[in-house]
Chains A and B, each alone.
Chain A
Amino acid sequence: MSALATALMVLLSQAPAESLLDASKHNFMAGTPRPPTMDACQFCHVANTLDSAPVLPPAWEPGVKTKDGHAALEARADPSGPPLSMRWAGSTLRCLSCHDATVSSINIVFRPTSVSLKGDEVAADRQRAEDKRSVFLGLPQEWTGRVMGNHPVAVPYPLQLTQSEYRGYSPRSAPLPTKEWHADPRKNGLKLFNDTSGFDVLTGTAGVECASCHDPHGTPNVFFLRLPLARSELCLGCHRK
């Protein structure tokens, strides 16, 4: 489905009909449709007007070590390989604030007391983390803290087939095998990010984050994916193989 079609669908599905977010697993509110007074956004977004409580540093912040001495959530290409110099930031940082399984998804900074939540608190989430079908990327009970086996994020993308440096990281010194990439995957409905401020995605500084493939606000596809899995349309939106 093209980006345009998706946008159209989002537009057409505005309240009072159930939104994609309401129908998604990212709606943590009890009861659907969402009561108009209840704010499903609060689990991730905090209104600027509210005071925010001090935030504990996430476990995967630089300097935080796991019990076996590795940096939490450090990324390696293979088990014996060196840690990759990835820097979590931006939208990926927000995703990992739940999906690293070190923090309960309901351990949020601000929660109106009137909000009723699905499930229990921390214990339930821990249980999910230990489930192999878990959506969590880290496995806190093992405290390996590694994101091995996941698609890299916070990495450059060769937008317009131009080598990018992204968040201080340039993965290759040699020219990219540009024939293996789409010049602009945004045309296929995927999203790229800019590692500097601003929303303009520029060649030379474009990168891939979780939200390149996922739209956490809901999509017609499984797993919040921006493109269908059938015929590997999602993967082939960036990769020319």
Chain B
Amino acid sequence: MTAPLLALALLLGQTPDIRNTKHNLSSASSNVVRATTLDEVCVFCHTPHGGSQSKPIWNRDLSYQTAGLYTTYSSTTLDATVNRPNGPSKLCLSCHDGTIAIGSLLNLDAVRPATVSMSGGVTTMPAGNTNLGTDLRNDHPVSLVPDTVSDPEIVTPPAGDAVQLKSGATDGVKDSVQCTSCHDPHLDTTKFLVKSNLRAAVCTTCHSKPGWLGSRHEASLAPYPSGGAQTVGDLGCLACHTPHNGSAPSRLLHTKNLSGSPLPWAEENVCFSCHRSGGTGVDPVRGIAAPDIQTQFGKTTRHPVTLKVDEHQPVFTAKTPAPEEVQNTVKHVECPDCHNPHQVQALPGNVHEGMKGISIGGSVVVDDSSTDLKQYEICFRCHGTTFATFIPPAATRPPSGSDKRLELNTTNEAFHPVAGTGKNQSTYLNNVLDAPDGQLQGNDWQGNRLNRFSTVLCTDCHNNEQTADVTGSARNSPSGPKGPHGSTNARLLRANYSTQVGTAGGPPFGGYNANNFALCFRCHAEQRLRGVTVNRSNFYQPGGVGAGRGNLHQVHLVDRTNASCHECHYNVHSNVQAANTDYRNVPPGTPTHLVNFAPNVQPYTKDPDPYYGDAPTRPRWGRTPSGDYYCFLECHGKDAMDGVKTVYRPPNP
């Protein structure tokens, strides 16, 4: 009977009849599990005399349910103690654990004990969802007293609700979650539920998940017909969780597949059940299906969600203490390391709603109703202090394998402006409205023109390559799905960025090719970097445009050396960990313009420094005693030391 029909039946005063349910095991029923000839209904569970217990009087042996028979549910996020099955749950298990023959009764017509012959040769509970076995770890825990003190996300059912606690732990006290809290074995409803679980009505009676109402998943109208539900939102918790026979060792997760066999077990496959090609139907309001994230994770570079199974522990639970440190120390990455599926919002909303992160200062920050996490605070969970656990060892470590929390700190002399406005406040680094010679193009993620005050997101560089179709922030791209899930580019970059560097024998490239620096040009306008006169950058040498002087970016990239960005801006995140640069006469607080040299750039050793007379052991970038910027180094085996010509005077500070 459907929920509306049931409601109608109750309204009309009709009582659902157990004889219409699968619990009618009499020979008169048409159920698969039924007696061969016995035409009684109640007797399979109840007897008026000689039962194993009263209240209800039970016609099945329970003495086999000794200590240790059952393996009970456990979870790192569970505060309550799960007792061995007691109370009503013992009774349900006397069929549903598959141990005792269904026809094995204590009393049948005064024959004690007795065995009822079952149709089709059925003895114990046939294999399937209804046979829970004695290993109950993949089933919702029963016989536990909810701990609403330790876990604020657990509440006891309100008085009058169809879901209720039942007797169990303490005699005569209805204190425990039991099978019968959710199921009434006499009720002619879907799965004998005491009330409809559409939109998670049963689950949310006890599970109060902050932010669930109105979250993207709760509000989803994406079609996903399953078990009476029509949409993902209707499915509610059951889109990802199952109260029985979960695929996971804990948290009762399961995978699904709208069009075939469920995906094999893996954390990410819970999400991919919907977040893959054809995972759901098209949400009629949003006009899109669930974003296909699975395809993203199949790209050349990706966050390796398939790397580990069952190592992730939730961090977004309100349980105290958190079962997984917000700052990860055990290498893994799974979808819920960045997203809280109970609270997540779709872009342009907060995709990290309800998460915990690490602030630029290194402390744990929590996203709640009053505070939104900053995106980088999620990234710092792994790419901050504990990065060494996650990035391959130093020998093969790419330049990005470093502590981003340290690098992006706004007290540094140079950093990409992720955690705050950048140090370079040159008007050359400004928007075109503010200064004709500005170098930035496009909008920030909030739609404002990029300028020297702007901040950027990690995902403005690290993103699906499809988002390279716009300048400025990747958030402004009409393409997607967005996010650092996967990219066809190296280092999960939004656009190509060559890290090729020169050798002693020559420059990295035989000629200039804008595609080598496509990533940079999403924000830093190529024409500004290549402009010889007006559109120049402030890496500028006065005293003559001829011979390539003037815009020194143009000189390096094109005119003279065909160098790469990477050679002088080896780590584009920050200078703070620069290992191959000698900053001379640069007082603390002075912007260092993200100049830090790649290992192929060498110190100049043939002559001493013309300004200071010393012999630096690393390539030098600094200021002359009079404050002019200059370089003193050797590049691709050539002398870059060219007397005063190495001095350049930016037209702006």
- The interface-forming segment of B39-47, B227-235, B395-403 is B39-47
Instruction: Say whether B49 contacts A150, CB under 8 Å.
Output: yes
Could you say which interface size class chain A belongs to? 20 to 34
Instruction: Say whether A137 contacts B15, CB under 8 Å.
Output: no
Q: Which of A78, A133, A180, A239 has the most CB of B within 10 A?
A: A78
Instruction: Say whether B48 contacts A213, CB under 8 Å.
Output: yes
A82 within 8 A of B: yes
B531 within 8 A of A: no
Instruction: Say whether A232 contacts B41, CB under 8 Å.
Output: yes
Interface residues of B in 1-55 (CB under 8 A from A): 10, 15, 17-19, 26, 28, 39-43, 46-55
- The interface-forming segment of A46-54, A60-68, A223-231 is A223-231
Instruction: Say whether A152 contacts B15, CB under 8 Å.
Output: no
Complex Cα–Cα for A231 and B29 (A) = 10
Please judge, given known A-B contacts A77-B55, A229-B109, whether A241 and B48 are in contact too, CB under 8 Å.
no
Instruction: Say whether B109 contacts A149, CB under 8 Å.
Output: no
Instruction: Say whether B111 contacts A148, CB under 8 Å.
Output: no
The smallest beta-carbon distance between A8 and chain B, in angstroms, is 25
B186 within 8 A of A: yes
B112 within 8 A of A: yes
Please judge, given known A-B contacts A149-B50, A231-B26, A241-B18, whether A133 and B55 are in contact too, CB under 8 Å.
no
Interface residues of A in 176-191 (CB under 8 A from B): 179-180
Instruction: Say whether A81 contacts B172, CB under 8 Å.
Output: yes
B40 neighbours in A (Cβ, 8 Å): 229-232
Total contacts A-B at CB 8 Å: 82
B171 within 8 A of A: yes
A213 neighbours in B (Cβ, 8 Å): 48
B57 within 8 A of A: yes
Instruction: Say whether B49 contacts A235, CB under 8 Å.
Output: no
B630 within 8 A of A: no
Complex Cα–Cα for A240 and B46 (A) = 14
Closest to B52 in A: A149
B58 within 8 A of A: yes
B110 within 8 A of A: yes
The smallest beta-carbon distance between A154 and chain B, in angstroms, is 13
Please judge, given known A-B contacts A78-B54, A232-B40, whether A222 and B109 are in contact too, CB under 8 Å.
yes
Instruction: Say whether B53 contacts A148, CB under 8 Å.
Output: yes
Point out the residue from A135, A150, A232 that lies within 8 Å of B43, measured CB to CB.
A232
Interface residues of A in 206-241 (CB under 8 A from B): 213, 222-223, 229-232, 235-236, 239-241
A70 within 8 A of B: no
Point out the residue from B19, B46, B55, B172 that lies within 8 Å of A231, measured CB to CB.
B19
B15 neighbours in A (Cβ, 8 Å): 179-180, 240-241
A-B contacts, 25 listed (Cβ < 8 Å): A77-B53, A77-B55, A80-B171, A81-B171, A133-B111, A133-B112, A148-B53, A149-B49, A149-B50, A149-B51, A149-B57, A149-B58, A150-B48, A150-B49, A150-B50, A151-B48, A151-B57, A179-B10, A222-B109, A223-B109, A229-B43, A231-B28, A235-B41, A235-B46, A241-B17
Contacts A148-B51, A232-B40, A236-B41 supplied; 9 other A-B pairs, CB < 8 Å: A77-B55, A133-B110, A148-B54, A149-B50, A149-B53, A150-B50, A179-B10, A223-B110, A235-B42
B positions within 8 Å CB-CB of A: 10, 15, 17-19, 26, 28, 39-43, 46-55, 57-58, 106, 109-112, 171-172, 186
Shortest 5 CB-CB contacts between residues of A and residues of B: A77-B55, A149-B51, A232-B41, A241-B186, A151-B48
